[in-house]
Amino acid sequence: MGKWIEIRPLPASRLSAGSFMDVLGVLYNSGRPFKFVIASCPSQIVEGRFSIRFFFHADEMLVDRVKSLLRVSLGVQVIDGSKPPKSMYPLSADLGLKAHFALPIADLAGRSQLNPIDSIAAALAKGEGAVEVSAVGDAGARGKILKWIMEKTGRSPGFAAILFNSALGILDAVLGAPAKGSQLRADLNPVAKARVSMAAEKANRKLFRCSVKVYGDREVLDAVLDVLPSSAANRLVRRGVRKAAQLSQLAEEPPTYALRNAINSLAWLPSAALLGASFLAGAFNPLRLASIDMALIVLAVLMAAAIKTAVPSRRPIILSAEELGLMVGLPTEVGRLPVELGASPITREQFIPAAGKAQEEAREPQEGVEPPQAPAQKDGKGRFPTAVLCPFCGIPLPSLREPCPRCGRDARSALRA
| Percent of residues in the chain assigned helix, strand, coil, to nearest 5 | 35, 20, 45
**pLDDT surpasses 90 at 222:** yes
Q: For 283-305, what is the mean pLDDT?
A: 85
| End-to-end CA, the chain | 102
Which residues does 315 contact at the CB level (< 8 Å), separation at least 6?
96, 97, 100, 101, 257
> What does the pLDDT look like over 145-155, one tens digit per residue?
999 999 888 76
For the four alpha carbons of 63, 65, 67 and 73, in that order, the dihedral sign comes to: negative
Burial class (CB in 10 A: 0-12, 13-18, 19+), 413: exposed
Query: What does the alpha-carbon distance between residue 230 and residue 323 come to, in Å, rounded to a whole number?
Result: 9
At residue 356, does pLDDT exceed 50? yes
Q: What is the pLDDT of residue 414?
A: 62
Higher pLDDT among residues 79 and 257, named by residue: 79
- For 266, half-sphere exposure in the C-beta direction (CA atoms, 13 angstrom radius) is 9
117-155 pLDDT per residue, tens: 999 999 999 889 999 999 999 999 999 999 999 988 876
Q: Cβ atoms within 10 A of the Cβ of 166, count?
A: 10
State the Cα–Cα distance between residues 321 and 202, nearest whole angstrom: 10
pLDDT computed for residue 10 by the predictor: 86
pLDDT score at 90: 92
Cα–Cα distance, 339 to 52 (Å, whole number): 5
Is the pLDDT at 318 greater than 90, yes or no? yes
> With contact defined as beta carbons under 8 Å apart, do 41 and 53 qualify?
yes
Distance between CA 87 and CA 41 in Å, rounded? 9
Rounded-to-integer distance, Cα 33 and Cα 387, Å: 84
From CA 7, how far away is CA 341, in angstroms rounded? 9
- Segment 32-59 mean pLDDT: 90
pLDDT at 181 exceeding the cut of 50: no
pLDDT bin (cut points 50, 70, 90) of residue 47 is confident
Poorest-pLDDT segment among 18-22, 133-137, 316-320, 369-373 = 369-373
Range with the lowest mean pLDDT among 124-128, 216-220, 279-283, 375-379?
375-379
Is residue 363 very low, low, confident or very high in pLDDT (cuts 50, 70, 90)? low
Whether the pLDDT of residue 307 is over 60: the answer is: yes
Nearest to 61 by CA among 107, 133, 119, 3: 3
pTM above 0.75, yes or no: no
Q: Do the strands 207-216 and 89-97 form a parallel or antiparallel pair, or are they unpaired? A: antiparallel
Does residue 89 carry a pLDDT above 60? yes
